[in-house]
Amino acid sequence: MKLNTKNVVMGLIAPVALLGMLVSNPALAREPYDKAELADMQKQLLESVNQGYELWHGSKATTTTLGLACGNCHPDAAGTNPQTFPKFQADLGKVAPLRDMINWCISVVQGGEALDIDGPDMIAMEAYAFNMHRGQKIELGLQTRQTPPDLVKDGRGYPWKGSGVGYDKGSKAYPVPGHHQK
């Protein structure tokens, strides 16, 4: 960038303007979140993860006409590789985010009705898949599947317990203790 008067003036104004925004906008400058607020945020996230767990196991009938749910082929979200998205998906013929592939499996593989791409159900599906891959290395755009889908059982969903196949290793199966540990 050429050093002209305009750039120098902008360089001086921008930080001052930013500081002004921080001070005048309560959303940007506020007290650190307290424990209760942080706990509430975490609770809301886990609620979404749990909603995703339900959907993963066929709680929404419109997402399948075959009697199969995600959990039958992707137990504990195995083989979905959320940490590798966005990436080129041959099935879609383009670089796609995870949610497009979720809807692809719903409509093509399960013969169901795709989810609203920005709706709370889709967000919950993503929350669940990412939560199960917590700690995995992000390998954006990885082209090949790292782990193939792994059919566990016919029928909707799979037994309501950790299968041991995915990243939860069947131990602390669900994020909210006591939830769905049937």
Q: Is 109 in the site for ligand HEC (CB under 6 A)?
A: yes
Amino acid at position 83, single letter: Q
Select from 124, 125, 132, 173 the one that contacts ligand HEC (CB under 6 A).
Answer: 125
Select from 48, 49, 52, 74 the one that contacts ligand HEC (CB under 6 A).
Answer: 74
Select from 51, 52, 53, 105 the one that contacts ligand HEC (CB under 6 A).
Answer: 105
Both tokens of residue 27? 């959303």
- CA-CA distance, 25 to 19, in Å (whole number)? 10
- CA-CA distance, 172 to 181, in Å (whole number)? 10
Select from 37, 40, 91, 116 the one that contacts ligand HEC (CB under 6 A).
Answer: 91
CB of 104 to ligand HEC, least distance (A): 7
Select 35 or 48, whichever has its Cβ closest to ligand HEC. 48
With beta carbons less than 8 A apart as the criterion, state whether 45 and 128 touch: no
Q: Is 73 in the site for ligand HEC (CB under 6 A)?
A: yes
- CA-CA distance, 175 to 73, in Å (whole number)? 21
